[in-house]
Amino acid sequence: MKKIRSFMLVVLSLVVLFSLVACGSSETNSKEGGEGPTADNGIQELTIKISHVVAEHTPKHQGALKMKEVIEKESGGKIKVQIYPNSSLFGDKDEYQNLVADNVQFILPDMMKLVGNDEGFNMESMPFIFEDDAQSIAFWDGEKGKGIFQRLEKDGVLGLTMWPNGGKHITNNVRPIKLPEDLKGLKLRTQGGQLLESMYAELGAGSATIPFGELYTALQQGTVDGQENTLSNIESKKFDEVQKYMTIMNHTRVDYALLTNTKFWNGLNDETKAIVQKGIDEGTIIARDFAKQLNDQALEKIKENGKTEIYVLSEEEIAAFKKALEPVYNEYKEKIGVDIIEDAESR
């Protein structure tokens, strides 16, 4: 009898042990990030967070919505994607650190925010390096662009791809900008950064950093004479209401980097990773198409409003700006890498 009782106790202990293991496995399957099962090729049950700092009617958000749609559909609902626009989860100042900590799985910072992590992201502010979205996309999709993204791996971050916003253009309230000397004495709001400060200083203009949300009032009150921005930002924020002149320049750009972290990415099994990658690929197509559409529509709306005089630089005038900015160009060409600049120029 004692032997039977002992045997039953052993069996009961084993049942409890296997139950605990099974429960532990189930909990792992539902964790956020890439901590689901890796022993088999089943789709992991995950919650993925995407955080960005702009509004819903933007390339960032539309691309993120496509990612969500594809990932949730392809995973049969096993993967949930939560999108946080308008800095509702993290803002410019803390999103990168929280990505590294895997508190969020994807962020989309302006590349200029990454210059402190690597000088290569100064490409966005190199004067007249990219004529349009197509050239910028070709560079960032190419070997040299991917190489710059890879440098973030030292932080535990993976640069996946580029989503465009567009080329920047100058508006101001003083005079039409047609030649380099027209900028002399003007004070412009810029995104900040040494390269932009050097560029405007070379042209005899002052630069100031003003929060984007406060820029309309600063232009209206004359705190600064003008600013540089993409067409969609100029139109959506109604800067043309308080600016007399706009020059179509494409002298610098605003583009975004889609970033994830190594902890999340390396925790995905092959089947799950393929689904997430498909979401990234299709989201990228939407974001890139939407950026061009938005800027084209914005220019038409600004023209229709008729409150701003629009001037388009000729090839000769662009050449004059390039010549005036040669000292800045040559300085940063060395900092970024001659081979990288040559690759961009070949696009």
For 292-307, letters b (16+ CB in 10 Å) and e give bebbeebbeebeeeee
329 phi and psi angles, rounded to 5 deg: -60, -50
Query: For residue 92, how many C-alpha atoms fall within 13 Å in the half-sphere facing its CB?
Result: 10
Residue 5 is predicted with a pLDDT of 43
Residue 32 is predicted with a pLDDT of 54
Residue 152 lies in a domain: yes
For residue range 104-128, list pLDDT tens digits in order. Answer: 999 999 999 999 999 999 999 999 9
Nearest to 237 by CA among 215, 220, 221: 215
What is the distance, to the nearest Å, from the Cα of residue 295 to the centroid of all Cα atoms in its chain? 17
Q: Tell me how many domains the chain contains.
A: 2
Amino acid at 319: A
Residue 29 is predicted with a pLDDT of 36
Residue 33 is predicted with a pLDDT of 58
Residue 88 lies in a domain: yes
Question: Are 183 and 49 in the same domain?
Answer: no
Residue 110 is predicted with a pLDDT of 94
Question: Are 286 and 176 in the same domain?
Answer: no
Give me the mean pLDDT over the 158-187 stretch.
Answer: 98
Calculate the dihedral angle through the C-alpha atoms of 301, 313, 332, 328, rounding to the nearest 10 degrees.
-130
Question: Are 144 and 185 in the same domain?
Answer: no
Residue 8 lies in a domain: no
Question: Are 188 and 320 in the same domain?
Answer: yes
Question: Are 219 and 327 in the same domain?
Answer: yes
| pLDDT above 90 (res 330) | yes
Distance, in Å, from the CA atom of 184 to the CA atom of 108, rounded to the nearest integer, reads: 35
Is 93 exposed, middle or buried (CB count within 10 Å of its CB: 0-12, 13-18, 19+)? exposed
> Percentage of the chain surpassing pLDDT 70?
88
Question: Are 186 and 212 in the same domain?
Answer: yes
Domain that holds residue 223: 169-253+296-345
Give me the mean pLDDT over the 329-343 stretch.
Answer: 95
- Per residue, the 3-state secondary structure of the chain, as one string, reads CHHHHHHHHHHHHHHHHHHHHHHHHHHHHCCECCCCCCCCCCCCCEEEEEECCCCCCCHHHHHHHHHHHHHHHHCCCCEEEEEECCCCCCCCCCHHHHHHCCCCCEECCEHHHHCCCCHHHHHHHCCCCCCCHHHHHHHHHCHHHHHHHHHHHHHCEEEEEEEEEEECEEEECCCCCCCHHHHCCCEEECCCCHHHHHHHHHCCCEEECCCHHHHHHHHHHCCCCEEEECHHHHHHCCHHHCCCEEEECCCCEEEEEEEEEHHHHHCCCHHHHHHHHHHHHHHHHHHHHHHHHHHHHHHHHHHHHCCCEEEECCHHHHHHHHHHCHHHHHHHHHHHCHHHHHHHHCC
Question: Are 222 and 96 in the same domain?
Answer: no
Residue 206 lies in a domain: yes
**CATH for 217:** 3.40.190.170
Give me the mean pLDDT over the 183-197 stretch.
Answer: 94
Question: Are 121 and 240 in the same domain?
Answer: no
For residue range 305-327, list pLDDT tens digits in order. Answer: 999 999 999 999 999 999 999 99
Residue 7 lies in a domain: no
Amino acid at 209: T
